[in-house]
Amino acid sequence: MMAKTLSFRLLVAGVALAAASAAGAHHSQSEFDFKSTVEVEGFVTNLDWRSPHSRLYVEALDAQGKTVNWDFELPSPMTLMRRGWKRDSLKPGEKVKIKAATARHFPNIGYAIVIRDGSGKPLFTGVTQIYEPEPQAKTP
């Protein structure tokens, strides 16, 4: 009984941790490891503007200079549109810099945390609680 109770407590704690990285999603995002991030600089090949998650495909070079095609998950078009995105906000051939959480079980798939377009402007990704907010300055 004690063991059961303990395992259940661990379960709830584990769920809370996993769910803390739910990013603009309608489900747990435990398929991504938000403690394992990758930074990719490359060129957009396609912005797949469909629900439940938009997907941004990016061609980049890996450390060995080999071309790699990345598949980055984003919130739904609905969520992105409410935060200023358009279906052509990123066009094929456009240079992007992306920081993403990596998929736990598949290579070259990630959940985009930070996206900067060719001009360096960040675009909304909807990621929640990936970074703790800056501590508020204490007022005297």
Binding track over 79-98 against another protein, x by CB under 8 A: x-xxx--x------------
Residue 5 and residue 9: Cα distance in Å, rounded? 6
Q: Is 55 in the site for another protein (CB under 8 A)?
A: yes
Give the sign of the dihedral formed by CA 65, CA 70, CA 74, CA 78: positive
Triad 93, 112, 135: Cα angle to 5°: 130
Instruction: Among 2, 64, 67, 131, indicate the residue that binds another protein (CB under 8 A).
Output: 131
Question: How far is CA 110 from each of CA 72, 121, 139, rounded to the nearest angstrom?
Answer: 5, 20, 40
Q: Which helix (H) or strand (E) holds 5?
A: helix 2-19
If one asks whether residue 107 binds another protein (CB under 8 A), the answer comes out as no
Contacts with another protein in 19-48 (CB under 8 A)? 19-20, 22-32, 48
129 is a contact residue toward another protein (CB under 8 A): yes
Interface with another protein, residue 15, by CB under 8 A: yes
Return d(Cα 1, Cα 16) in angstroms, integer: 23
The site for another protein (CB under 8 A) is made up of: 4, 7-8, 11-12, 14-16, 18-20, 22-32, 48, 50-53, 55, 73, 75-79, 81-83, 86, 99, 103-106, 109, 113-114, 122, 124-134
